[in-house]
Amino acid sequence: MVMRISENVKFNTVVNNLFKTQSSYNELAEKIASLKEINKPSDDPIGMSKVLNLRESAAAVEQYTRNMDACESWLTITESKLTAAGDLLVEAQEIAVSQSTATSSAEARSSEAETVQQLIDEMLSLANSTYDGRYIFSGTKTGETPFSSSERSAAEIGEATAAGGNGSFDGTVSSGGVYAGSVNTTYVVKIVTDDEVLANTTYRVSSDGGKTWSDPPSGDLVDGVPVTLGDGIELTFTEGVTDNLSEDDIFYVQAFAADSSNSSYYNGNGEELSVNIGEGVPFAYSISGEAVFTDKGDGEVEIFKVLNDLKDALEADDQSAIASCIDNLEAASDQISKNISKCGTRMNRLEIAQTNMADMELDLTELTSKIEDADVTELITKFAMKEVVLEASYSVASSIGDLTILDFL
Partner 1 sequence: MSGIDALNIAKDSLLAHQTAINLTGTNIANANTAGYSRQRAVFSTLVPSVEISGIERIYDQFLGVQINEQANDLGDSEARKDALERIEMIFDETDGGGVNELLSEFWNAWEDLSLSPSGQAERQALVSVSESLSSAFRSYSDQLSSAQDDANAEIPLLVDQVNDYASQIADINARILQAGTENTDEPGLNSLKDERATLLSGLAEIVDFNSITDSDDSVSVFLSNGMPLVEGGETWELDVVSENHASNPSFYDVVFKDNPDVVINSSITKGKLAASLEIRDTAIEGYMGSLDELATTLVEKVNAQHRQGYDMDQNLGEDFFVFDTGTEEAGYMQVNADIIADINKIAASETVNGDGENAVTMNTIKDELTMSEGNSTISSYYSSLVARIGQDVADASDSVDHHTNLMTQLTNKKESISGVSIDEEMMNLIRYQTGYNASARLFTAAEELANTLMDMVS
Binding residues for partner 1, rule: CB under 8 A, are 3-9, 12-13, 16, 36, 38-46, 48-50, 52-53, 55-56, 59-60, 62-63, 66-67, 70, 132-134, 140-144, 161, 163-166, 186, 188, 190, 208-211, 248, 250, 252, 269, 271, 273-276, 279-280, 282, 404-406, 409
CB-based contact 288:267 (threshold 8 Å): no
How far is residue 233 CA from its own chain's centroid?
Answer: 31
Question: Given the complex with partner 1, which of 93 and 393 has the nearer CB atom?
Answer: 393
Phi, psi dihedral angles at 279 (to 5 degrees): -65, 115
Q: How far is the CB of 205 from partner 1 (least distance, A)?
A: 13
User: With the C-alpha atoms ordered 20, 24, 29, 31, is the resulting torsion angle positive or negative?
Assistant: positive
Torsion of CA 16, 22, 23, 25, to 10 degrees: 150
Beta pairing class for 147-152 and 250-256: unpaired
DSSP letters for 291-325: HHH-SSTT----HHHHHHHHHHHHHTT-HHHHHHH
Question: Given the complex with partner 1, which of 194 and 208 has the nearer CB atom?
Answer: 208
Query: Quick check: helix, strand or coil at residue 173?
Result: strand
Is the N-terminal amide bond of 216 cis, ω within 30° of 0?
Answer: yes
CB-based contact 136:286 (threshold 8 Å): yes
Question: Given the complex with partner 1, which of 68 and 322 has the nearer CB atom?
Answer: 68
Q: How far is the CB of 409 from partner 1 (least distance, A)?
A: 6
**How deeply is 3 buried, as exposed, middle or buried, from its count of CB atoms within 10 A (0-12, 13-18, 19+)?**
exposed
How far from each other are the two terminal CA atoms of the chain, in whole angstroms?
28
Question: Given the complex with partner 1, which of 134 and 382 has the nearer CB atom?
Answer: 134
Q: How far is the CB of 276 from partner 1 (least distance, A)?
A: 6
Question: Given the complex with partner 1, which of 59 and 380 has the nearer CB atom?
Answer: 59
> What are the percentages of helix, strand and coil residues in the chain, rounded to 5?
50, 15, 30
Q: How far is the CB of 78 from partner 1 (least distance, A)?
A: 15
Q: How far is the CB of 54 from partner 1 (least distance, A)?
A: 9
Question: Given the complex with partner 1, which of 206 and 308 has the nearer CB atom?
Answer: 206
Beta strands in 124-222 (DSSP E): 130-131, 134-135, 147-152, 156-162, 173-177, 185-191, 203-206
Q: How far is the CB of 180 from partner 1 (least distance, A)?
A: 21
The C-alpha atoms of residue 187 and residue 257 are separated, in whole angstroms, by: 13
Question: Given the complex with partner 1, which of 78 and 142 has the nearer CB atom?
Answer: 142
Question: Given the complex with partner 1, which of 216 and 280 has the nearer CB atom?
Answer: 280
Question: Given the complex with partner 1, which of 25 and 259 has the nearer CB atom?
Answer: 25
Q: Which helix (H) or strand (E) holds 26?
A: helix 7-34
CB-based contact 113:225 (threshold 8 Å): no
